[in-house]
Amino acid sequence: MSNTLGFTIVSSGSKGNSTLVWDEDDSIIVDFGISVKRLKNRIRETGRTHDRFSVLVSHEHSDHSSGLQSLSKALDVDIYTRKATSEALPVRCYELKDSMLIGNFRITAISVSHDAADPVAFIIEHGSAKIGIVSDLGTFDQRLSDALEGSEILAVEANHDEQMLMGGRYPGFLKSRIAGKFGHLSNSQSAQLLSEAASPESSIILTHLSQENNRPDLALETVRKHLSSWNIRYRSISCASQDSGTPAMFLST
């Protein structure tokens, strides 16, 4: 088993999401709402030479799935998702179980609250390393925060600032949808989830920031303020961007 695990978010936001996790033997793609060219560029930057990929799809919304058909034609991929989600996708998928092994990776799928067929968050474990990837949910429960505990990388949605959303130009029905329990986490809700899941070893990455109803500096300020007031320690905190995602990170396994 490899003793190094790589992680990079390729893109994060309403215009497309995708994350790449790899070891020396296998590569896993979490969601694919971007172009194949963009993924290939990031793979080239990481120095990976894999020609086979496993794809985990959290839910069917286009910003997480629109590139799947092109990806399945361009690369040798196995796509895993929930049965109800697969029925909304134009590609062949394998059933995503609650817990499964892919190469050296253990994948755990946790059901979340979002207006999709059967949306999930992902826990990815590899040896002693653990990564939590949580995007697109309107609320959370103890089951999710418990599952995330011990994650060295916590990639968690911080979609909107509540005041920006309510004072913004979106129509009322859309504001209600985003702020509702089947919508998206606000900065303060993200902080609440992180307060239950983060540890001093956690590198926190705030994801899926709205370009209309949030700003990276505001998301960071809000989450840092809440975590500080609750005396929550963590290793680092940053935001993933729509255009460049995040730099590559490496964990020992």
- Domain 4-243 is found in CATH 1.20.120.450: no
pLDDT at 1: 44
pLDDT at 2: 53
pLDDT at 175: 98
Q: Report mean pLDDT in 10-residue bins for the chain, 253 residues.
A: 85 97 94 97 88 94 98 96 97 98 96 98 97 98 97 98 97 98 98 98 98 98 98 98 97 93
List phi, psi (to 5°) of 93: -130, 150
Alpha-carbon distance of 34 to 230, in angstroms, equals: 37
Alpha-carbon distance of 237 to 248, in angstroms, equals: 14
Locate the DSSP E strands across 12-167. Answer: 18-22, 27-30, 52-56, 76-81, 94-95, 99-102, 105-111, 120-126, 129-134, 153-157
Place of tokens 């999401």: 17
Place of tokens 């999930």: 120
Contacts of 249 (CB under 8 A, 6+ apart): 6, 7, 8, 153, 203
- Using a 10 angstrom Cβ sphere, with 0-12 exposed, 13-18 middle and 19 or more buried, the burial of residue 41 is exposed
Tokens for 228, please give them.
């500080």
Alpha-carbon distance of 176 to 174, in angstroms, equals: 5
Alpha-carbon distance of 241 to 11, in angstroms, equals: 6
pLDDT at 3: 82
Radius of gyration of the chain (CA): 17
Taking the model in full, what pTM does it have? 0.96
End-to-end Cα, the chain, rounded Å: 9
pLDDT at 49: 76
pLDDT at 51: 76
Alpha-carbon distance of 190 to 186, in angstroms, equals: 6
- DSSP for 158-202 reads --B-HHHHHHSSS-HHHHHHHHSTTS--BHHHHHHHHHHH--TT-
